[in-house]
Structure 1
């Protein structure tokens, strides 16, 4: 009786045995055995009903298939369910997205960073600098070149601004 779902037939067998001993021996505990037998049967019926409900919830509509992907060498994972053509498109898009993400990550690693951890300008290659704009505007990174004028967006903290700047590429601007 390790798994409750496997133990149900055994529970029904026990209920039958309780009924049989009650009838065969005219047992003094007949009422207790009758209640125990009835409770075992009730629990069995309830478990069967719950199994049916669970099975109905887990079943995908007809024609739906999983979109299964593997990311960075991990185990395959079902990330969505839907019509076959949609899942094929989603998988194609996700594979491309993760490939681009890996490409950007490898380009970021190769960039030389200055003493503040800031990469050069992704457009012209000039030195970049951190700027704090007032008390409420936030932080951003600017290209040091007068000709380029490349800058990041505004961020609440310096680390977020640097991280965003360092993840940019020439194509991503």
Structure 2
């Protein structure tokens, strides 16, 4: 089945979902953050088919979230390591974890707890304003057209209404 590509939409959420929006890709990244690096270990931990895993790893390498490093010459074998771009995905996983812990965890509580090594405390993700450090909440945050918003859409009346442009 052919899937719709969102890679060229003028929306960072759509573009991100296009790359990472299937169920396996964030789980592969989660395992990479847990320290998994080798194909067989990813497969064992996730119970994922070899062809699906190979596809997800290839896509993550092509997108620059993972890089490959040879660890054996005969036969040639590679491990997968997070790049700077890949490590920058951690706050997204932490935010998904916080939401899942709040809304989907059972009575037994969170299955995994984040510990901040610098201060030694258990913690959870919190999205804050980069300027004032206050938590970002939907009720007190507005969306505006950014510099990358396509000119062809800026003048459409429904778009102008959505973004509160007079």
Q: Shorter chain as normaliser: what TM range? A: under 0.3
For the pair shown, the structure with the greater C-alpha radius of gyration is 1
TM-score if structure 2 supplies the norm length?
A: 0.21
